[in-house]
Chains A and B, each alone.
Chain A
Amino acid sequence: MLILGTSPSSAQVSAACFTPLWAGACSAAQAEAAVASLRGSGLLQPGGVATTLVASGQQWDWPNAWPPLQQMLVEGLAGCGAAGGAVLAEEVALCWLRSNHRGWSRDGVMREKYDATRPGESGGGGEYAPQVCLSLAYHNV
């Protein structure tokens, strides 16, 4: 069981560090510090926000970027009210969409994860082959 406030903190930089923005668990000062910290973290890459800075070869680490984390970060940044939050939210959103779009335009698939450093390229690592949506179907809305 994790007991917040008493368990030791990890020194690793992780995208998960910024999910309190999404949860609305930050004061105004904390939100402002978090926005600045994310911008300077090295996690923000051309293809979205990487999970961590640790190149372990595991799928939960650098340079992989996962959809749910992008969504939580964008929503958190956009709604936190901190200076620069909305701007950074849009940057993350556009980086992620660019990667999705570039990969799909070339390969005809959406991927479960992407390489944050190379927009459109699949992420990797883990115990299984990276998963994709195996359809070339095109639906206009």
Chain B
Amino acid sequence: MKRVLAGLLVLAVVLSTGALAGCGANNTTSKGSEEKVTLKVYNWGDYIGEDVIKKFEEKYNINVVYDTFSDNEVMHTKLKSGGGDYDVAIPSDYMIKRMIDEGMVKKLNFENIPNYKYIDDSFKNLGFDPKNEYSVPYMWGTVGIIYNKTMVTDKVDSWNILWNDKYKKQVFMLDSQRDSIGITLKKLGYSLNTKKMEELENAKEELIKQKELGVVQSYVGDEVKDKMIMGEAAFAVVWSGDAVFMKRENPDLEYVIPKEGSNLWFDSMVVLNNTQHQKEAELFINFMCETDIAFENADYIGYSTPHTEAKKQMSPDLLSDIAAYPTKEQIKNCEVFEDLADSIRDYDRIWTEISAK
């Protein structure tokens, strides 16, 4: 008797949650046409102008649910495991390639995105989306070294400076296996997309050496911004847009792209495959490419815009800042990340070995 009752109860709970979930789904699909549509957007944290979402909601009478992530892998895992039913996401290059390969994104109807014409041609048809069918560029940038001019006398133009034992506990590395191993590969003159075990082993030795020299203070994430502004260390490996922000807060800081080359990256907008609102999603992407909006975004977050008209409105100071807009010459050795497929396991192994030392 007891078991039967318990069984019934479980059944009741399962059914009711199922029914609830069903209702939820219905709300967003069938009612959509009569009532306000809800668009779910998934973007990096702190990566959009402050009023942009509000302006979009008012202009088109669409509700926006806006969520953020802290790295590409977290986003991928969440979408892959069926979480969130988002309509629009803004991942980076290699992740877009993986998502295209896995069939997670939809082909765009560019007739609904006329503002695409403002995107600089050099940002179209990039390696991760060669025919440019799936993505619209949002921001781009580089990875480089930010350093405090008051604490460094040497010339900073190479990754080697991060291995100089004169600077004990003065370096913040990125707590991201792909980036930290990537810049080490560049330092050694390899490609940062290498899958060759020998080259990866060399990079591992190099990173272990760096750790044993005692120059690394720690491997950090977003907190690096506060730390560098407060002068907690002389060097940090950072993304270019963060460098623009840090330089604004502390004028002693300077950003360089090392001569050996670095990572050049693009974050682009995509529409996810299970969307029920492709038209609204494309409307959103088009809105993000309006000149005023693109300017507002780029001005607020400090990253570099691929939008030709918005770029013209930028202040001359920013346009001449290599952190924001490096010249072709400065990025000639830079590479874009490619999806590593199964080699990410080798990278993780190496990273474990480094951090287990």
- Is B truly associated with A? no
